[in-house]
Amino acid sequence: MHQIIIFGPPGVGKGTQAALIAEKLNLKHFSTGDILRKAVQDQTELGTKAKEIMDKGELVPDDIMIGIVRDALAGVREGNGFILDGFPRTLKQAQSLDEIFDELNFKDVKILYLTADDNEIVSRLLKRGRSDDTEETILYRLKVYNDATSPVIEHYKDKRPIVNMNGVGEVDEINSKVIEAIGS
Ligand code: AMP
């Protein structure tokens, strides 16, 4: 069973690659950003709370996110596995995720780490044009990534296998390399 976390800065192509990997390997794709955007669209209590936070480029509180991911992963009992996209984004989330993996007996979790330099990321996000993709919010999201999220990769070093991949280039080419690296 594939147990994959796709990790990297905003705009590196995590969502695109995660969707392709999920399709090719028949995995469940859990994107915490997509889950939150759906809640905003459906105007649920979570959505109302999350919208303001997301528009500013800030992080939704850990407890809320951990609950969402715990529920999602608990639903993966059979099948080819999962790819987790957009989570964990803080050390607290990473520590809780370790506990969730232990509880659910997921023992073969791999990290797929996509990288790109900041200039590339800003220009990609400006082109994407999502409602939270204004220049100001993009720069803030990068700061949040550098301050709160990038230490998560240190947490995984020496603990879980990490596949490093440059996220700049042709989507299909990167995807072929990724699939080869994680095995099918
Ligand atoms: P994304 O689609 O991954 O770029 O996420 C969009 C926004 O959703 C982020 O800027 C955060 O406001 C929020 N978000 C998504 N995932 C998380 C998470 N794991 N922890 C906190 N906030 C999150």
Residues 70-125 have pLDDT tens digits of 999 999 988 999 999 999 999 999 999 999 999 999 999 999 999 999 999 999 99
54 lines ligand 1 (CB under 6 A): yes
33 lines ligand 1 (CB under 6 A): yes
141 lines ligand 1 (CB under 6 A): yes
| 172 CA to centre of ligand 1 in angstroms | 25
Specify the residue with its C-alpha closest to ligand 1, atom 5. Answer: 33
Please classify residue 23 by burial: count the beta carbons closer than 10 Å to its beta carbon, then call 0-12 exposed, 13-18 middle and 19+ buried.
Answer: exposed
Specify the residue with its C-alpha closest to ligand 1, atom 6. Answer: 33
65 lines ligand 1 (CB under 6 A): yes
Average pLDDT for the chain: 96
Q: Is the pLDDT of residue 129 over 90?
A: no
Alpha helices in the chain (DSSP H): 14-25, 32-41, 45-56, 62-74, 91-104, 118-128, 135-144, 151-156, 171-182
68 lines ligand 1 (CB under 6 A): no
| 126 CA to centre of ligand 1 in angstroms | 17
86 lines ligand 1 (CB under 6 A): yes
- pLDDT attached to residue 183: 81
Helix, coil or strand: residue 127: helix
Q: Is the pLDDT of residue 165 over 90?
A: yes
Q: Is the pLDDT of residue 184 over 80?
A: no
| 34 CA to centre of ligand 1 in angstroms | 9
153 lines ligand 1 (CB under 6 A): no
Instruction: Measure CA 26 to chain center.
Output: 18
Report residue 92: phi and psi, to 5°. -60, -45
Specify the residue with its C-alpha closest to ligand 1, atom 14. Answer: 33
- CA dist 13 and 19 (Å) reads 10
Q: Is the pLDDT of residue 67 over 80?
A: yes
